Amino acid sequence: MSLPRLAEWLGPAVGTVDDGPDAVDGPRRWWAGPLDVEGLALGSVRAAVSAFRLLTGERGLAVSAAQVAGAFGSQEYLRVDGRTPQMFAPLSRWFRAADGWVRLHGNYPHHVLALREVYGVSEPEELVRILRDRTAAEIESAVDAAGGIAAGLRTPGDWLSSPAGQAVAAEPWISWRFGASGSSPPVGPGLSGVRVLDLTRVIAGPTGTRLLAQLGADVLRVDPPHRPEILAQHLDTGAGKRSVVADLGDPGTRSRVEDLLGAADVVVTGYRPGALDRWGLGEEALRERHPHLVVVVLDAYGRQGPWAGRRGFDSIVQAATGIGHVYGGEVGGSWRPGALPVQALDHATGYGMAAAAMALLLRRTRDGAGSAHLSLARTAHVLLQLPPVSGATRQLSVTTQQTHSPHGLLDHAVGPITRDGVPVPLGVPGRYGAADLSW
């Protein structure tokens, strides 16, 4: 079966591109379901490999279906000292509304506080009683206004006909802004010598920077002290990176970050649009002060339209864009919305971000640095628009490994790529927040 050619989205940055490895090691289908999640997964990883090949000239990387399946489902395979960490909190689930369904997200304490602010309660059973008397639109608007995260269930047609859906559809999967003429030395071997400042959270952005670290980049992730990352999330996506907690509200810290920017090659951001502007870390400000920087920006719903400033995670975007409706079905005698077999929007967007960063590094050697933008919602559009695939699914044997970390013994899936037939090693996730704010 053919594979989606997501590497074609790199064309505006690098010209004609190859489509990554000529073949994939393993089967084409392994997750049962109505959408081509496998195609999205394989296509996004192949796009990243294509960009790496163009940047470095190395041809030895290949894509393994079993490793891609493990990487996209990495949370399923993670164990810490033999224990399965909790990834989804009780509030991160579907709730019935008066006119349908709504998806909430409560993995982070500040999002739980937002729900309590709106409804006076934050226990799932109490919310079940309250939300069933309110429409999905009322719920998502009230929760969003309070700083929380919610989305009513839509069909794909309803989403695409809405102003928000039309705004997302008008953007490419990867949108580009290019800098003035200039040149920088080529990188390599691998991404050796490339410095990446990681200002992302949760899964998508950290997945992309984890791949850059896996390929040799020096990645430093910075988190705010008042909103630390979930430890299991750090252990899942922090391999090979250094982690620091720093208060950008402190002038001395901002000065040190400015020094980091001056010596960095890539900045990857993953906060809600405008959230970093007050620290001078928005896309335009970064490009103006540091024209040598490659900047890759992630958000939930794109740059334009009525939802451009909304918060969103993979599961929430699935609800809003209609994927939850596509995967719905009869459960216990009644219809319920469903979900993708893995958080594919997060992971595919992350590999797209890594591909964009490498494509822009290549362009920088000839024409100067530029920036790229991706959104979870636009990745949802890509998935919904992929042609259906047929054929039997095959079970895969996912490759896992054990790694000693400062937080315990980790069992985890290996990364999605091989070099000369051997999985490319993942580094060790360091102790959360313990690194220095320096290269």
Rg (CA), the chain: 21
Over range 249-268, report the average pLDDT.
Answer: 92
CATH number, domain of 372, equals 3.40.50.10540
Does the pTM surpass 0.85? The reply is yes
In a domain, 34, yes or no: yes
> How many whole angstroms from its chain centre is CA 52?
19
Number of structural domains (the chain) is 1
| Residue 115 pLDDT class (50, 70, 90 cuts) | confident
Read off the tokens for 14: 């690098």
211, 71 contact by CB (below 8 A): no
346 included as an active-site residue: yes
Q: According to the model, what pLDDT value does residue 27 have?
A: 85
Angle of CA points 136, 316, 432, to nearest 5°: 140
In a domain, 138, yes or no: no
The helix/strand/coil state of 409 is: strand
Range of the domain at 39: 6-84+178-301+343-423
Q: According to the model, what pLDDT value does residue 300 have?
A: 94
In a domain, 106, yes or no: no
In a domain, 166, yes or no: no
Q: According to the model, what pLDDT value does residue 315 have?
A: 94
| Residue 335 pLDDT class (50, 70, 90 cuts) | very high
In a domain, 307, yes or no: no
| Residue range 141-158, pLDDT digits in tens | 999 999 999 999 999 999
The most distant pair of C-alpha atoms in the chain lies apart, rounded to whole Å, by 64
| Residue 180 pLDDT class (50, 70, 90 cuts) | low
| Residue range 421-434, pLDDT digits in tens | 899 989 899 899 99
For residue 85, how many other CB atoms are within 10 A of its CB? 14
Read off the tokens for 267: 């900045």
Angle of CA points 187, 192, 198, to nearest 5°: 100
Q: According to the model, what pLDDT value does residue 275 have?
A: 85
In a domain, 25, yes or no: yes
Read off the tokens for 114: 């937002």
Over range 42-67, report the average pLDDT.
Answer: 92
In a domain, 227, yes or no: yes
198, β-bridge pairs: 221, 268
Q: Which of 18, 36, 346, 367 is catalytic?
A: 346
| Residue range 38-52, pLDDT digits in tens | 999 999 999 999 999
Q: Closest Cα to residue 150, out of 312, 345, 15, 266?
A: 312
